[in-house]
Amino acid sequence: MDGESVFASNSVTASNPVLTRLRAETRPQHDAIEAALDLTNETLTLDAYRRLVERFHGFYLPLEAGLLKIGGWMERSIDLTERQKTLLLKNDLQALGVSDPEMVPVCTVLPPHGTIAAAFGCLYVLEGATLGGQVISQLLRNRLGVTPETGGRFFHGYGDRTGAMWQAFRAVLTATVVKPCEADEAVAAAKETFLTLQH
């Protein structure tokens, strides 16, 4: 795994079958979106970065709303509102000069997320992005002068709490997605999440 990965995987995958499968079976999709985004390119411009944030906002907004509708997250020890990134993306867009983020086009084709297993597959991708985002946050500061206060809040993620938040998510995922058929569903949804975000 590239140390500058946006959608980073945990370097130590537990023996839990669903985590092992998620990491191994989404590798091609993970690598494809890394290459497509190319956020570590030294030629990255502020305009290109803003356009990327617009696309992320258009993806996260409807998907996070759909995930919230499933319900039952608090009973599974997941505070989904605390983990939402849409507001961070909206704030970043405003800081980057987009006066009305609500006018940014929204993704109309979303990955499957209507069941708990599929939802956890989607969240595996979204939460994994916070790990690589820590490295990207520093790159944005160094190359573009973008800080969490000036348009880089999304990639800053949970800040110092990122590792702990990832570990807590992994623990709930492994306790929830236990049957082989549920793991199948989670893996399929994770793959589609990568593919849909790339497109």
pLDDT in tens, 36-60: 877 777 788 999 999 999 999 999 9
pLDDT over 90 at 7, yes or no: no
Tell me the average pLDDT across 97-119: 93
8 assigned to some structural domain: no
Phi first, then psi, for residue 79 (nearest 5°) are -90, 95
Cβ-contact 141, 152 below 8 angstroms: yes
The predicted pLDDT at position 50 comes to 95
3 assigned to some structural domain: no
pLDDT classification of 31: cutoffs 50, 70, 90: confident
141 assigned to some structural domain: yes
Angstrom distance (rounded) from CA 29 to CA 84:
23
Cβ-contact 63, 122 below 8 angstroms: yes
CATH code of the domain covering residue 51:
1.20.910.10
Number of domains in the chain: 1
The predicted pLDDT at position 38 comes to 74
Q: Which domain holds residue 165?
A: 17-198
Q: At what angle do helices 17-25 and 27-37 cross, to 10 degrees?
A: 50
Residue-wise pLDDT tens digits, 75-95: 999 999 999 999 999 999 999
